[in-house]
């Protein structure tokens, strides 16, 4: 792809038969500007309380929206979210242990799924079945069967869905996409990210200062479909670090990378993947099972290699770059990406010095979703975007676990060794 025409042709081919069609029922749900949108929050932890609630509240008056129900297996988190709603709206909000109780409410128009990774797919599938709109955190699923079920349910229902890969809604990301569409970089041959840190991110999410009381937690609701075991408070807040509840950095952090280059370059699904990983630095009493070092490489049908790695034993060496025949786009600083003719193998019209990519005014991810709830338009990160970030992540996890190259079978929507 070297210009916007090629992008359109590629996307038309790649998404044939997969576009989300608006049903008559979907259009029938278009809300007037004076109708208040009632939102239920599923998961009141760091993402739900720390990002979703303030992100939506920033637009609450303009978009006429309100949180009217919250759910979480842990009463401490649930009550904290309810107290904030009381402060915002001056009236009590409904509290539930289970997300199912929110889905049963006729007066809730949409839900925000900010729960643990192993909850996302099932909760989205059941949300689609009751035809409520949704904003769902990434990664979308932890296995292909769950991924296909939730995506199919969304498409069948016609609900509006925004997947929580919010980086594609940065004005700088839109600027990078428009710059790429000019064809100035020529053919792209490689995209890479090294996302490093001095320690794994899951340590920062663990609550260690105050003991968690077992009577405050509906443990079975947290485990959901995972095997029963005795209550373990470190799993409740440290689940990011355990493979049973999260696939680790390639899926959890890497999906932002995958989604961003999909958005900018126009790729969708790779044809193969190899990956390795392990715990080489952070070995301690928590016995975390997610790897603190990982490396994945994908091959895309556009003759493109993509590389992703994490090193949680040294914070140096972070990079995110898109390499083309006529220059380089550097997104290492998402908020201030640059471009130049660096590394060009052909004559280039790009500047020799690093030049800031011009930002393009873009609604933030939450505002885009809220606007689409009324217009029934397609969100910036629709369900297809979630599928397209999730499949490469699942391929990498399977490659890492098996030590074998994984192939994506597009016809059957399956990942297999090859």
Q: Are 168 and 261 in contact (CB under 8 A)?
A: no
| One domain, residues 47 and 176 | no
In the chain, what percentage of residues exceed pLDDT 70?
92
- 95 lies in some domain: yes
| One domain, residues 162 and 173 | no
| One domain, residues 220 and 259 | yes
- 121 lies in some domain: yes
Q: Are 126 and 159 in contact (CB under 8 A)?
A: no
Q: Are 162 and 409 in contact (CB under 8 A)?
A: no
- 268 lies in some domain: yes
Question: What is the CATH classification number for the domain harbouring 152?
Answer: 3.40.50.720
The pLDDT assigned to 85 comes to 98
DSSP letter for each residue of 242-257: -TTT---HHHHTHHHH
385 pLDDT band, cuts 50/70/90, is: very high
| One domain, residues 311 and 401 | yes
- 226 lies in some domain: yes
Q: Looking at 7-11, 31-35, 113-117, 140-144, which range is the least confident one?
A: 7-11
The answer to whether residue 25 scores a pLDDT higher than 60 is no
Tokens encoding 201? 């991110």
Calpha distance 53→36 (Å, rounded): 16
Q: Which of 110, 150, 145 is nearest to 126 (CA)?
A: 150
The pLDDT assigned to 14 comes to 38
Torsion of the alpha carbons at 173, 20, 304 and 342, rounded to the nearest 10? -20
In the chain, what percentage of residues exceed pLDDT 90?
89
Which residues, including other chains, have CB under 8 Å from residue 180's CB and lie 6 or more apart? 264, 265, 322, 329
Tokens encoding 100? 């199912």
- 89 lies in some domain: yes
253 pLDDT band, cuts 50/70/90, is: very high
Calpha distance 384→140 (Å, rounded): 11
Calpha distance 76→392 (Å, rounded): 36
The pLDDT assigned to 290 comes to 98
Tokens encoding 48? 């739900």
| One domain, residues 162 and 176 | no
What are the pLDDT digits (tens) for 364-381?
999 999 999 999 999 999
Which residues, including other chains, have CB under 8 Å from residue 382's CB and lie 6 or more apart? 20, 161, 162, 163
Beta bridge partners of 293: 278, 311
| One domain, residues 247 and 176 | yes
| One domain, residues 151 and 200 | no
| One domain, residues 130 and 222 | no
Tell me which of 311 and 31 has the higher pLDDT. Answer: 311
| One domain, residues 178 and 161 | no
Tokens encoding 264? 């900018």
Mean of per-residue pLDDT scores for the chain:
92
The pLDDT assigned to 353 comes to 97
Question: What is the CATH classification number for the domain harbouring 193?
Answer: 3.30.360.10
Structural domain of residue 303, as residue ranges? 169-361+392-417
Q: Are 246 and 239 in contact (CB under 8 A)?
A: yes
Beta bridge partners of 417: 406
**If residue 37 lies in a helix (H) or strand (E), which one and from where to where?**
strand 37-42
Q: Which of 413, 387, 402, 386 is nearest to 274 (CA)?
A: 402
- 300 lies in some domain: yes
Average pLDDT estimate for 386-390: 98
What are the pLDDT digits (tens) for 184-216?
999 999 999 999 999 999 999 988 777 899 999
34 pLDDT band, cuts 50/70/90, is: low
| One domain, residues 138 and 186 | no
- 387 lies in some domain: no
What are the pLDDT digits (tens) for 156-190?
999 999 999 999 999 999 999 999 999 999 999 99
The answer to whether residue 4 scores a pLDDT higher than 60 is no
The three-state secondary structure class of 72 is coil
What are the pLDDT digits (tens) for 254-312?
999 999 999 999 999 999 999 999 999 999 999 999 999 999 999 999 999 999 999 99
Number of Cβ within a 10 Å radius of residue 17:
4
Q: Are 56 and 65 in contact (CB under 8 A)?
A: yes
Q: How many domains does the chain have?
A: 2
- 40 lies in some domain: yes
The three-state secondary structure class of 45 is coil
DSSP strand E in 110-183: where? 110-113, 133-136, 161-163
Calpha distance 225→246 (Å, rounded): 14
CA Rg value for the chain: 21
The answer to whether residue 231 scores a pLDDT higher than 80 is yes
| One domain, residues 233 and 356 | yes
> How are strands ordered across the β-sheet holding 161-163?
94-96, 65-71, 37-42, 110-113, 133-136, 161-163
| One domain, residues 106 and 197 | no
Beta bridge partners of 368: none
The three-state secondary structure class of 95 is strand
């Amino acid at each position: 792809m070297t210009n916007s025409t090629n992008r359109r042709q590629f996307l038309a081919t790649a998404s044939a038969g997969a576009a989300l069609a608006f049903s008559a029922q979907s259009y029938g749900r278009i809300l007037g500007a004076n109708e208040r949108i009632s939102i239920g929050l599923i998961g009141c932890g760091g993402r739900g309380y720390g990002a979703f609630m303030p992100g939506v509240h920033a637009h609450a008056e303009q978009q006429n929206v309100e949180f009217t129900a919250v759910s979480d297996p842990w009463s401490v988190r649930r009550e904290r979210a309810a107290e904030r709603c009381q402060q915002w709206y001056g009236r009590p909000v409904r509290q539930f242990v289970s997300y199912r109780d929110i889905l049963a409410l006729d007066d809730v128009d949409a839900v925000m799924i900010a729960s643990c990774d192993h909850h996302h797919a099932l909760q989205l599938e059941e949300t689609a079945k009751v035809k409520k709109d949704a904003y769902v955190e990434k990664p979308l699923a932890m296995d292909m069967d769950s991924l296909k079920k939730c995506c199919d349910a969304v498409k069948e229902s016609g609900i509006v869905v925004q997947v929580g890969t919010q980086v594609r809604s940065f004005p700088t990301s839109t600027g990078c996409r428009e710059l790429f569409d000019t064809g100035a970089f020529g053919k792209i041959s490689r995209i890479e990210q090294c996302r490093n840190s001095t320690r794994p991110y899951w340590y920062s999410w663990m609550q260690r200062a105050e003991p968690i009381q077992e009577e405050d937690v509906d443990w079975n609701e947290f485990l959901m479909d995972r095997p029963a075991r005795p209550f373990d408070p470190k799993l409740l807040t440290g689940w990011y670090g355990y493979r049973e509840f999260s696939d680790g950095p390639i899926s959890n952090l890497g999906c932002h990378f995958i989604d961003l280059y999909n958005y900018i370059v126009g790729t969708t699904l790779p044809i193969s993947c190899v990956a390795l990983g392990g715990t080489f630095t952070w070995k301690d009493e928590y016995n975390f099972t997610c790897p603190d070092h990982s490396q994945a490489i994908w091959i895309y049908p556009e003759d493109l290699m993509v590389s992703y790695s994490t090193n949680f034993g040294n914070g140096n060496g972070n990079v995110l770059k898109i390499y083309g025949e006529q220059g380089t786009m550097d997104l290492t600083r998402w908020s201030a990406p640059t471009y130049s003719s660096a590394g060009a193998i052909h004559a280039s019209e790009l500047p020799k010095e690093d030049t800031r990519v011009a930002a393009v005014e873009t609604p933030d991810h939450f505002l885009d979703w809220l606007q689409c709830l009324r217009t029934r338009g397609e969100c910036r990160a629709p369900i297809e975007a979630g599928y397209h970030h999730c499949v490469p992540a699942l391929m990498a996890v399977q490659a890492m676990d098996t030590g074998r190259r994984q192939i994506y079978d597009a016809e059957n929507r399956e990942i297999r060794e090859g």
